Amino acid sequence: MTEKQPPPAPLGLALRHAHLRAARTFAEELRPLELENVYAAVLINLGLLGSQTQRQLMDSVGSDKSAMVRHIDSLESRGLVRRRPHPTDRRAHAVELTDAGEAALAEVLVAASRTEERLLTCLEPAERGRFRELLGRFAYPAPERTCE
């Protein structure tokens, strides 16, 4: 096989590898909790932002709406979240953490911070904040015309 130095990987491939690496590390850290990455992401979002509609959770977690129905079903059957009537929109559900969900979230946050610590050892301490900041703007572009 040809043995060349790998040229700079295409941006999309680098993002795929970065995401795979992060997802695998997170999955390892979550294994003792018997929680999958997506479920952990839902709990984290509910913890950060409080009660959310399924629509909001879709957007913040990045799953589509039928997947989100199943995720909430699973989390609800495990007693970690509950669906409540939305106070102003009768079509929507307000999904919120139960007490068991709050407890699970605390463990998830520990797993998440251990994950980030492991992932970021690749970068110099001074670079870590810069990377997060650039990644944040790349991942969540402001809806201005500078960013289509």
The residues binding DNA (CB under 7 A) are: 36, 38, 53-55, 58, 62-67, 69-73, 83, 86, 88-93
The pair of structure tokens assigned to 131 is: 């990377």
The pair of structure tokens assigned to 41 is: 């992401």
**In the block, residue with structure tokens 């990987």:** 9
Which x/- pattern over 50-89 shows residues binding its own copies (rule: CB under 8 A)? xxxx--x---xxx-----------------------x---
From the list 7-15, 65-73, 74-82, 98-106, the region that binds its own copies by CB under 8 A is 7-15
Neighbours of 82 (CB within 10 A): 16
Partner whose binding site includes residue 54, from DNA, its own copies, none (CB under 5 to 8 Å by kind) = DNA
Q: Note whether 26 and 112 are within 8 A (CB).
A: yes
Partner whose binding site includes residue 91, from its own copies, DNA, none (CB under 5 to 8 Å by kind) = DNA
**Residue 85 parent element (H or E):** strand 81-85
Residue closer to its own copies, measured from CB, 80 or 115: 115
Partner whose binding site includes residue 98, from its own copies, DNA, none (CB under 5 to 8 Å by kind) = none
Q: Note whether 35 and 108 are within 8 A (CB).
A: yes
